[in-house]
């Protein structure tokens, strides 16, 4: 917390749009379709879908969903959920550092949004981000996010595996 707060100038943070990123591995992301394009019907169906797709009680999580696209009378959606205690821990850490985020996003979705604006919207693209503790993988087809996975394996694990395989120390 001290390192984070010391590295940020309070003057720089004032009036800034701050988007804090939560690791994909802390969330559940589900893709599904509903047999309607009516926003009111979608809103009513979402709670049922949460109960079907999320392995913990809806009152114990924070969730959001977004329409990916609509086709042939169906709405294709993405549902993102995270346990409330995970969000609370994340926000407490930021608060202790004097940071007040304007938004919270998920690492794999941030990766998708950033890269999809710069790439071709045709064909299949795979985004892979290897972080220190986890890896995010997105599959995008014709500009639409089709699936997203988080794997609890990252660059630290890679370094440890290589160290063991080649019998070298990780110490510098």
DSSP letter for each residue of 4-38: HHHHS-HHHHTT---EEEE-GGGSEEEEEEES---
pLDDT tens for 113-126 read: 777 766 566 777 77
3-class secondary structure, 47: helix
pLDDT value of residue 121: 66
pLDDT value of residue 100: 84
How are the residues of the chain apportioned to helix, strand and coil, as percentages rounded to the nearest 5?
40, 35, 30
Buried/exposed 22-43: b ≥16 CB within 10 Å, e otherwise = bbbbbbbbbeeebeeeeeeebe
pLDDT value of residue 39: 93
pLDDT value of residue 91: 92
pTM greater than the 0.75 cutoff: no
Strand runs (DSSP E) across the chain, as ranges?
A: 19-22, 28-34, 61-71, 74-83, 103-106, 124-130, 135-141, 144-151
- Does residue 86 carry a pLDDT above 90? yes
CA distances from 147 to 43, 48, 152 (A): 22, 21, 17
């Amino acid at each position: 917390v001290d390192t984070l707060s010391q590295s940020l100038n309070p003057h720089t943070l004032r009036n800034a749009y701050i988007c804090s990123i939560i690791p994909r591995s802390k969330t559940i992301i589900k893709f599904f379709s509903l047999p309607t394009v009516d926003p009111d019907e979608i809103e009513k169906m979402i709670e049922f879908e949460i109960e079907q797709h999320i392995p913990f009680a809806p009152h114990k999580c924070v969730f959001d969903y977004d329409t990916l696209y609509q086709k042939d009378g169906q709405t294709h959606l993405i549902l993102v959920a995270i346990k409330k205690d995970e969000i609370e821990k994340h926000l407490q850490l930021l608060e202790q550092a004097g940071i007040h985020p304007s938004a919270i996003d998920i690492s794999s979705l941030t990766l998708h949004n950033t890269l999809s604006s710069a790439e071709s919207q045709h064909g299949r693209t795979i985004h892979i981000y290897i972080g220190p503790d986890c890896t995010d993988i997105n599959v995008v087809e014709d500009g639409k996010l089709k699936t997203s996975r988080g794997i609890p394996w990252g660059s630290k694990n890679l370094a440890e595996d290589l160290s063991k395989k080649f019998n070298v120390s990780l110490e510098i």
